[in-house]
Each structure stands twice: as C-alpha cells, then as structure tokens.
C-alpha cells in the first residue's frame, strides 16, 4: 500500500510500517530460542515439538506478517501480544500501536484502491480490502480504539499514537461523508422520521381493527401484526444508533481542533450535534420501550412510546435548524393537535350520537403529551430569543453578521408573542387534564 507506507514513514517514522519490540536487549527473531519476554521464557514440551510462542514471539510474528502485507494475520498476532504482554508497559504500547496500524492497513487506509502488483508479495493471495464503506468504517473504528489505547500507554513525549488516532478519525469522517454523500445526517433523520411516522400510522390502523373486533382487552388474534411492528421498531432503533455514530464522529473531528482555532460555525455545529445526540439517545430508549409494549400487545401504551420516539426524532432534527424553521414546524404540529383535540371532544360529547368508536390511541394523555412537547420546543426558541433581548445592544451590534440586524430585531419582537402562546398552551394542558379527570377518562 504505497500511501499507507508513506503515511507510516512520514508520521510515525518507521520504515517497515511497524516498530521493533521494546526491550533492554535487541528482540530476537521468532526462530531463535532465547527470546526475552515479559511473560516468561519460551516453553518446550519435548524434542521435536513446536514451542508455544511467548508474547514477544507473537509480536515478532506480527512484524513478519506486516512486512508481507498480510495485515489480517498481523493484527491477530499483535492482539495476542497485547493480551499476553503481562506487566511490560512498553510491549503493551507497541503491540497496541501496531495493531492500530495493521487494522488501518486492512481497511485500506491511505489507498482506497490498492494495486495488486504493488501491494501483495509474489505468490501470496490478494489481501482483500473491506468490500463496503460500512465495513471499512467499522475496521477503522477498531483501529482508532487501539490507537487510543496506545495513547494511554505511550511514554512521555511520544505523540505518534495521538497523531495516528487523529488521522484515522479524520478518515472515518471522510468515509462517512462519502457514504452519505447526498444522504447526510439530516437526510437520514428525515427518513427515520418518515419511517417512524409510518409505523405510528400503521399502529393506529391496527388499534382501530382491534377496537372494531371488540378485542381491546385481549388482542391475541392480532399478535402477528403487533410482532411485525415490533420488528420494524427494532430495525429503526438500529438506524438511530447509526445516526448517533455519525454525529459522534463529526463532533469528534471538530473537537480535535484546538478550541481557539475553531470557527464560530464549528463551535455551533459541535453544540448542535451534542444536543442532537441527547435526543437520539432518548429516542432509542423510546424505541426499546415501544418494542417491548408491542410484543406484550399493549396497544395504547405502545402507541404512546411510538409517538414519543417520533417526537424525540423531530427534536433531534430541529437541533440543526434555525429558530424560524423550528417555529414553523411547531405551528404545523399545533394545528394537527387542534384537529385531534376537537375530534376527542366530539366523541366525549354525550349529546352527539356517533356510529364510530373513539380510536384507541386518541386519549387525553396522548394529547397532553403532544401539547407539552410542542410547548417545550417553542419554549426552547423563546429562551434563545430572550437571551438576544437581554444582551447589550452594543454587544449585539458588534458581534452580529452583516445583514442580520433585521433578524435580531424580529427575534426581540417575537418574545412577548411566544410568551403569550406558551401561556395558552399551559392553560390548554391544565384544562384537558381537569376535564379528563372529571369524566373519568384520564389514564396516566
């Protein structure tokens, strides 16, 4: 791998792509019998038997495999050396360091399309790189983990492991960007939200079928349908985990830049990604809860958790939006909530005779949860606007970007309007709870 060797030589300063084993004496080749080792002497059973390799012997074997560009075997030997290095910190450090190198080379680091004539020894089978970007990213994550271990074990003044950790981390981000080109984190979140909305709507339809069949108390006949939705939630939960990883990698890349060298956009992005990750973690828990409720055939409670996961995904996506866009989204959700609130009020009105029964998911608790979520989203924007309003105008003028004066003025003017809106939302929640408790329909 031409580029990998160049990377190793320039950054790490070793010509063979791996370091010599640490020892007060030179480390002997594997074939020799007197290899010093931190874990003890080489053991021999009897004449003619192959001796069991010591940690240092496994390390030397890893060097040989690495020199032959057999990175998979090299990684296995370096791992064995690291695991069996005993109390020798230098051997642990160098084995971890070279394990990181071997995994990076195995992933094709520095040369996405290696040329077989240059990269494999004559007569040796081709070293197959990972077949997909996802596999390459996973291998590089392992490489980064071992470089991180090497950073912890590195002697004072040795920055090689730290430098390589930064390089591998940057390449992980680049691969993630390539993998998601035209399909960035925002797009994946949009798809997740659409998919989760689809699950929610399917569950609402299923609850209607259960109610029409009069099986609300024991929906055993619909167990297959509930299980199918539970499987879907498990799949989406895995996709949430992928989004968490993408956000973490991008944030790590930003945080590796010294704070004084970060641009304002980078600082804002890092903060947004941190908040986004918090909401994704909440969503992941809600997915898990929803899946468990679905498998227990607890339809209405499952719907609450499915809808909670959807709301948390929306909150995650909104961390990347500007305040106006967030307020537009909350206004749309409020309009839909008004429609559902009127529908439940119609069902509750004893003077109106309806053939349909109230949908199992349309409960006072569900409406209250949605109203509180909308209030929290709008309240977050209000807090940002209030911070602008409380800032010294001279400071605002000095730090404002060209042409942003009108935006700042609009934010300040919006504070009392949003404040009134939030007060109305809180009042609606209180009235809904009191009404539901009075009629015996409140189910927390």
pLDDT at 403 over 70: no
Closest CA to 15 of 90, 93, 67: 67
User: Can you give 133-190 as a three-state secondary structure string?
Assistant: HHHHHHHHHHHHHHHHHHHHHCCCCCCHHHHHHHHHHHHHHHHHHHHCCCCCHHHHHH
Q: What is the DSSP letter of 242?
A: H
| Per-residue pLDDT reduced to its tens digit, 247-275 | 998 888 888 888 888 888 888 899 999 99
* Among the ranges given (17-21, 169-173, 420-424), the one the predictor scored with the smallest mean pLDDT: 17-21
In this prediction, residue 90 carries a pLDDT of 87
Residue 53 is given by DSSP the state P
Q: Residues 73-92: pLDDT tens digits?
A: 999 999 999 999 888 888 99
Q: Measured between alpha carbons, how far is 47 from 57 in angstroms, rounded to an integer?
A: 19
Question: Looking at residue 28, what is its pLDDT?
Answer: 30
3-state SS assignment for residue 22? coil
Residue tagged 């994550």 (tokens): 141
Say if residue 42's pLDDT is above 60. Answer: no
pLDDT at 26: 28
- The pLDDT of residue 122 is above 70: no
Whether 180 contacts 242, CB under 8 Å: no
Q: Given a cut of 50, is residue 66 above it in pLDDT?
A: yes
Q: What number is the average pLDDT over the span 219-246?
A: 91
At residue 237, the pLDDT reads 94
The whole-angstrom distance between residue 444's C-alpha and the CA centroid of its chain comes to: 32
Q: State the pLDDT at residue 169.
A: 79
User: What average pLDDT does the segment 402-418 reach?
Assistant: 84
Q: What is the pTM of this model?
A: 0.60
- The answer for 396, left when phi > 0, alpha when psi is -120 to 50, beta otherwise, is alpha
Which residue did the predictor score with more confidence, 20 or 97?
A: 97
DSSP conformation class of 358: P
Task: Look up residue 52 and give its DSSP letter.
Answer: B
Look over the chain and give the mean of its residue pLDDT values, rounded to a whole number.
80
Q: What is the pLDDT of residue 120?
A: 39
| Nearest partner of 17 among 142, 160, 115, judged by Cα | 160
Question: What percent of the chain has a predicted confidence (pLDDT) above 70?
Answer: 78
Q: What is the pLDDT of residue 75?
A: 93
Structure tokens belonging to residue 346: 């119609």
- Summarised one tens digit per residue, pLDDT across range 21-41 is 433 332 333 333 333 343 433
| pLDDT (mean) for 69-74 | 92
Cα separation, 280 vs 325, in Å, equals 20
């Amino acid at each position: 791998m031409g580029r990998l060797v160049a990377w190793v030589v320039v950054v790490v300063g070793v010509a063979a792509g791996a370091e010599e084993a640490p020892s007060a004496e030179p480390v002997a080749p594997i074939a020799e019998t007197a290899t010093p080792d931190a874990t003890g002497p080489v053991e021999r059973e009897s004449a003619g038997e192959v001796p069991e390799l010591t940690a240092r012997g496994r390390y030397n074997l890893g060097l040989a495999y690495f020199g032959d560009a057999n990175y998979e075997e090299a990684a296995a030997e370096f791992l064995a050396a690291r695991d069996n290095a005993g109390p020798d910190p230098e051997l642990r450090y160098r084995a971890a360091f070279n394990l990181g190198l071997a995994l990076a080379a195995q992933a094709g680091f520095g040369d996405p399309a290696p040329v077989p004539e240059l990269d494999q020894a004559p007569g040796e089978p081709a070293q197959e790189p990972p077949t997909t970007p996802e596999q390459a990213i996973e291998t590089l994550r392992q490489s980064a983990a071992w470089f991180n271990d090497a950073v912890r074990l590195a002697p004072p003044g040795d920055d090689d492991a730290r430098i390589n950790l930064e390089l591998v981390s940057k390449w992980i981000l680049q691969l993630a960007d390539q993998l998601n080109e035209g399909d960035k984190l925002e797009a994946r979140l949009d798809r997740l939200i659409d998919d989760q909305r689809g699950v929610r709507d399917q569950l609402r339809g299923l609850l209607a079928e259960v109610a029409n069949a009069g099986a609300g108390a024991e929906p055993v006949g619909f167990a297959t349908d509930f299980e199918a939705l539970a499987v879907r939630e498990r799949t989406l939960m895995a996709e949430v985990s992928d989004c968490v990883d993408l956000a973490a990698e991008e944030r790590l890349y930003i945080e590796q830049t010294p704070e004084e060298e970060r641009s304002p956009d980078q600082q804002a992005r890092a903060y947004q990604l941190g908040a986004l990750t918090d909401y994704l973690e909440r969503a992941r828990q809600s997915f898990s809860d929803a899946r468990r409720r679905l498998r227990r055939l607890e339809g209405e409670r499952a719907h609450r958790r499915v809808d909670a996961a959807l709301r948390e995904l929306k909150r995650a996506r909104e961390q990347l939006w500007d305040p106006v866009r967030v307020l537009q989204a909350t206004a749309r959700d409020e309009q839909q909530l008004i429609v559902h609130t009127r529908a439940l009020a119609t069902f509750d009105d004893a003077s109106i005779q309806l053939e349909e029964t109230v949908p199992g998911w349309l409960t006072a608790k569900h409406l209250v949860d949605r109203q509180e979520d909308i209030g929290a989203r709008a309240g977050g924007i209000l807090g940002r606007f209030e911070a602008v309003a409380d800032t010294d105008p001279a400071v605002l003028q000095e730090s404002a970007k060209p042409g942003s004066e009108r935006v700042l003025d609009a934010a300040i003017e919006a504070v009392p309007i949003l404040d009134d809106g939030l007060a109305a939302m809180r009042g609606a929640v209180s009235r809904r709870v009191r009404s539901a408790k009075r009629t015996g329909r409140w189910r927390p």
